[in-house]
Amino acid sequence: MTDKNIEWFLNAKLKTLAELLEKRNITLYYADSEEEALKRFNKLVPEGSEIGLSGSMTLSELGILDRVLTPAYKTINQYEQGISREESMHRRDAGANADVFLSGANAVTYNGKIINFSAFGHRTAGVANAKKVVLFAGTNKLVENLDEAFDRIRNYTVPINSKRLNYQTPCLQELSCHEEICHAPDFVRMCNQALIIEGEVHPDRLFLVIVKGDYGY
């Protein structure tokens, strides 16, 4: 396919996805550049907001992490240098109940499912609990269905993140999932929880911003 055809194909599929999600009270926005993604962030998350965070390469690469760590926002920062592990965990708990929770998405299916995995459960808790949730995902996270989503996450996303965060998972070496041996005492499992969002009760609670390009893993 030419670039133009790919663009048309993507737009047609995103339009269908947006219509599908809208019927389930999830608002999808498309940003064709980082600049557009940041403009959308500014509209969705006013300065002064109390923000909870999930660790996300996508948020970092888009420049959103740097922005919310300025004094303009009341961000509950579990990554602050010098805090104890206990304090970091406490802040993650608090962040999961913040006014706004920001996260990436591990995968988004064209048939309307948003998938997030979590090691400790704070990402899944934040997406489920916070008063308002804004998720950012590059077009590299779009897949056809749940099978593709789980395959991508377990055989690509988690192994890369294991390496990045030095998690001793079975997938660290071979970069593919070996769930059958992924347990203590031999290994530390990284993908302990999976949240599949198919719909939302409250309108204006859950927003998904799809950004053109590759962001995160």
Where along the sequence are the contacts to ligand SF4 (CB under 6 A)? 154, 158, 169-171, 177-179, 182, 189-191
* CB closer to ligand SF4, 154 vs 212: 154
Residues 6 or more apart whose Cβ sits within 8 Å of residue 105 = 58, 114, 115, 116, 135, 136, 137, 141, 208
CB of 86 to ligand SF4, least distance (A): 24
CB of 115 to ligand SF4, least distance (A): 13
CB of 187 to ligand SF4, least distance (A): 7
Q: Is 187 within 8 Å of 181 (Cβ atoms)?
A: yes
* CB closer to ligand SF4, 86 vs 180: 180
* CB closer to ligand SF4, 49 vs 161: 161
CB of 60 to ligand SF4, least distance (A): 21
Residue 137's DSSP bridge partners are: 210
CB of 150 to ligand SF4, least distance (A): 9
Pairing, β 142-143 against β 107-109 = parallel
* CB closer to ligand SF4, 60 vs 193: 193
Would you call 136 helix, strand, or coil by DSSP? strand
Q: How many CB atoms are closer than 10 A to CB 125?
A: 21
Q: How many CB atoms are closer than 10 A to CB 12?
A: 10
Residue 26's DSSP bridge partners are: 206
Pairing, β 26-31 against β 206-211 = parallel
* CB closer to ligand SF4, 135 vs 191: 191
Residue 101's DSSP bridge partners are: 52, 133
Reading the block at residue 12, the tokens are 């047609």
* CB closer to ligand SF4, 68 vs 107: 107
- Alpha-helical segments (H) within the chain: 3-22, 34-44, 57-61, 64-68, 85-95, 122-129, 146-152, 158-165, 171-174
CB of 179 to ligand SF4, least distance (A): 4
The Cα–Cα gap between 90 and 63 comes to 25
